[in-house]
Structure 1
Amino acid sequence: MTSAPRTRAGRPDDLPGDPGDRTLPQLLARNARDYPGLPGLSWQANGPDGNWTTFSWAGIHEHTRSLAAGYRALGVGRGDHVLLMMSNRSEHWLTDLALVRLGAVPVSVYGTAAPEQITHIARNCRARLAVVEGADLTAVWERLLTDPDTPLEHLVVAEPGEEGDHVPYAALLREPVPEGFDTALDTARPEDPLTVVYTSGTSGEPKGVVLTHRQVMSNALALDAVVELPPHVEHICYLPFAHIAERMLGIYLPCHRASHVYLCADPTGVAAVVRKVRPAQFFGVPRIWEKLSAAVRGLLSLMPDDQRAVIDDAFEVAREHVAHRERGETPSAKLEERYARVREDVLLPMLAAAGLDRVTWSASASAPMSVDVVRFWAGFGIVIMDAWGMTETTGVATSNSPRAGFRLGSVGRPVESVEVRVAEDGEI
C-alpha cells in the first residue's frame, strides 16, 4: 500500500489540479488505487446482533462498478434522478456511489416522509426509478407506478425475499460487466449535480436543493481547515442520508478522506456501535448528547459519596483546562499536570465504558445545543464543537474549531468559502 501526502485533517492529497474541482468518482478511484486494502465501509447484515461485514476501498470501487452496470441495464443514465428510501444500510450507501459513477443523481427520501410528500418529490424530480428497503415501503411506492403525473417505471427492493414483482437488489450485480461498459463510468464534471437534497417540508412542500461536486468539495475542504483528525478516521453513520449532515459526514467526507464508515441502520443502537468502534470523532445532534449525558448523570447519582467527590474534582480540573483553551490561553504547567493525571486515572476509564475514550473531535448541529450539556461534557475534557448550516449552504456554514478557536454555546465562525452577513434586525 503506497503512502500519499496528507493535509492537516488526515485527508489524502495526491490528485492533480484544484482540490475544489475534484469529483466523487475521482476520489473513489484514488482510494482504490492508493488504499486498496484499507477498510472503507462496515455494516451488520442481520441486524444489531449480526456479524460485521467490511468492504475495503478496492472492494467498494469494484462493487459499485458492478452495481452501476445493473442500474445501467435498467435504463439509468447520465443526469437521471433516482430515488432512494432506505435506512443506513449498505445497499443505500453503495447504490448512491454507483449512481454517481454513472453520472446519475441519487435523491434520498426520509423514511418518515408522508405519502403525499413522497408523491410530491417523485413528481418534482421526475425519477423513473426508486430503490426502497422492503415490502412495507413497496406498498407506498407501487401506486406511483400508475400515477399519470409521475414518470416512475421501476422499483428495486433491497430486502431479500420481499421484492414481489419488482426488481431484487441482488439481481443488479453484474459479473462480469458488459464489454465497453467502463466508458460510461466516472465522467462527472465539477459543475455536475451530485445529489438533490429535499428540505423536510415543515414549512410547506419539500424543496429540492441541487448540490454539485464542486459545492460539496468546497465544503469538505472548508471542514478540513477547522477539524483535527487522525488519518482514515472512523465515522459512525446513523442519521438519515436524506439530511445534508449525514450526506457530508457519512458519504462525501469519507470518500474525501479515505476514512472508515460504520453503518448503523437503527439509530437507537448507536450507543452499542460507539462502544464497539471507539471512534476518534463523533457527531451527535443535541438530542443524542442530551440522552448520553442523562444516562451518565443517572449512573453518577448511584455512586457512593466518596467516589463521586473524586469524580467531581476531576470534572472541575477538566473544565478549568477547557476554559483556558476557550479563552485562547495556554494552561499552566501545573494545570496540565493535574489534567493529565485526572484524565488518566478518572476520566478515561469512565469514557471507555461508553466507547468515547478515543474521541479527539466531537460536534453537534441541526438544533440549538444546551449550554448545560456542553459544560457537562467539558467536565470529561470533551469539547463539543457546535456548528450551524443549512441544506442550501451544503451543510456547515459556521463552526467552532479547536484550531481556529471556540466559544461554548456559540456556533463559531464562518468556514472557508462561506460569506455571512447579519441584517439590521440581527438575522443571518
Structure 2
Amino acid sequence: MSLFSSPLEAFLHWEKVIPDQTFLIQPINGKTKTYSYKDTGFEIRKIASKLKKMGLDKGSHVAILSKNCAHWMMADLAIMMAELISIPIYTSLTASAVEQVLNHSESKAIILGKLDDYNSIKKGIPNIPKIGVEIYGIEEEYSWEKIITEQIPEITIKLPNPSDTHTIIYTSGTSGDPKGVIHSVENIVNSIQTVQKIINLPKRPRLFSYLPLVHVAERLIWTYGLTIGAQFSYPENLLT
C-alpha cells in the first residue's frame, strides 16, 4: 500500500491516477447515480470553495448530518479540502441532542444530506449556514446542487499536518449526552495502517457502506478505502 500522509492526499492521488473510474454509486428512487473520481473532485472543490466563501477560517468545525450516501463522503472530502474539521452527527438523535452536539462542538456550518425525517430534527439546528442536498428532499438556504452549478472553484489545496485535528466523533448518546473524541490526522493514518495489516484488501476493491459513517469503525473503513482506491456503494433503505 502506498503510504499517504492524510486521507485527502490519498483521494488526490487516485483522482489523478484513475480519474474516470467509478468512485461512488448512489441508489436514488430505484435508479443509480455514479460519480467518478473526477466527478467527485469537481463537486468537492466547489463545496470547499463555498465553505471558505462563508468566511470559515482554517480549523473551523462543520457538521455533517446524513445517513450513508455519496454526499456524506463528498461532504467529508470538501471539509478536508477547505482545511476545516468535520463533526459527523448521528441521524438517530433527537432535535435536542443534535442541538447539544452542534453547540458543544461550536459548529459554524452544517451539511444536510440523506435523512428520513428532517422536519423532526430541524428545530435543533441553530442559526448557522446550512447546505442541503435537494435530491434527498432537503431544501435550505444553500443548495448543494446550486453551489455545484454556480460556485467558481477557488480553493487552494493544502495538505494537513499530522498533528492537525481531522475530525471530532461524538458518541451516540445512548448512555447520556453525546461526548466528542478528537482524532488527529496522524491518528487516522496510524489506524489505517493497522487495518491494512489485519485486512490487507487488494487495491481498488468494491466496498458496501452500511454501518453509520458517524461510527468510528465505518469512518475508518471509509478512510482506509480511500488509500486503496476503493469504490463505494450504499443501501437505498433498510429493505435493500
User: Please, what TM-score do these two structures have when normalized by structure 1?
Assistant: 0.52
- The percentage of counterpart residues that share the same residue type is 18
Residue 207 (str. 1) matches residue 191 (str. 2): no
Q: d(CA) in 2 for partners of 1:114 and 1:176?
A: 33
Shift of 1:193: 1.3
In structure 2, the CA distance between the partners of 1:206 and 1:266, relative to structure 1 (3 Å rule), is same
1:75-127 deviation per Cα after TM superposition (whole angstroms, max 9, x unaligned): 33321111111111222111111011111111111111122211210111011
Higher relative contact order structure (alpha carbons within 8 Å, sequence separation ≥ 6): 2
Helix, strand or coil at the partner of 2:79: helix
Choose which of 88, 111, 122 in structure 2 pairs with 1:141.
122
* Residue identity opposite 1:30 in structure 2: H
Helix, strand or coil at the partner of 2:182: strand
In structure 2, the CA distance between the partners of 1:93 and 1:165, relative to structure 1 (3 Å rule), is closer
Query: Are the counterparts in 2 of residues 101 and 188 from structure 1 also a CA contact under 8 Å?
Result: no
Give the equivalent residue in structure 1 for 2:146: 171
Choose which of 148, 155, 174 in structure 2 pairs with 1:182.
155
Name structure 2 gaps, 5 residues minimum: none
* Residue identity opposite 1:141 in structure 2: K
Shift of 1:40: 1.5
Give the equivalent residue in structure 2 for 1:153: 128
Q: d(CA) in 2 for partners of 1:135 and 1:164?
A: 14
In structure 2, the CA distance between the partners of 1:110 and 1:92, relative to structure 1 (3 Å rule), is same
Residue 86 (str. 1) matches residue 66 (str. 2): yes
* Residue identity opposite 1:172 in structure 2: I
1:23-67 deviation per Cα after TM superposition (whole angstroms, max 9, x unaligned): 1221111111222222221111x23x21x2222223222221122
Query: Are the counterparts in 2 of residues 160 and 168 from structure 1 also a CA contact under 8 Å?
Result: no
When you count helix as a share of all residues, which structure comes out higher? 1
Q: d(CA) in 1 for partners of 2:174 and 2:116?
A: 27
In structure 2, the CA distance between the partners of 1:28 and 1:228, relative to structure 1 (3 Å rule), is closer
When you count strand as a share of all residues, which structure comes out higher? 2
1:308-335 deviation per Cα after TM superposition (whole angstroms, max 9, x unaligned): xxxxxxxxxxxxxxxxxxxxxxxxxxxx
Q: d(CA) in 1 for partners of 2:117 and 2:182?
A: 29
Helix, strand or coil at the partner of 2:198: coil
User: Please, what TM-score do these two structures have when normalized by structure 2?
Assistant: 0.89
Helix, strand or coil at the partner of 2:134: coil
Q: d(CA) in 2 for partners of 1:241 and 1:143?
A: 21
Shift of 1:163: 4.8
1:379-411 deviation per Cα after TM superposition (whole angstroms, max 9, x unaligned): xxxxxxxxxxxxxxxxxxxxxxxxxxxxxxxxx
In structure 2, the CA distance between the partners of 1:166 and 1:62, relative to structure 1 (3 Å rule), is closer
* Residue identity opposite 2:199 in structure 1: V
Name structure 1 gaps, 5 residues minimum: 1-6, 8-12, 14-18, 146-151, 270-428
| Aligned positions, number | 239
Q: d(CA) in 2 for partners of 1:111 and 1:99?
A: 19
Query: Are the counterparts in 2 of residues 32 and 61 from structure 1 also a CA contact under 8 Å?
Result: yes
Structure of higher CA gyration radius: 1
| C-alpha RMSD of the superposition | 2.3
Q: d(CA) in 2 for partners of 1:41 and 1:164?
A: 23
Q: Kindly report which structure 2 residues correspond to 1:386-425, keeping only aligned pairs within 5 A, or say none.
A: none
Residue 220 (str. 1) matches residue 192 (str. 2): yes
Give the equivalent residue in structure 2 for 1:259: 230
1:144-201 deviation per Cα after TM superposition (whole angstroms, max 9, x unaligned): 43xxxxxx422222234945552222122255625xx232x23321111111110112
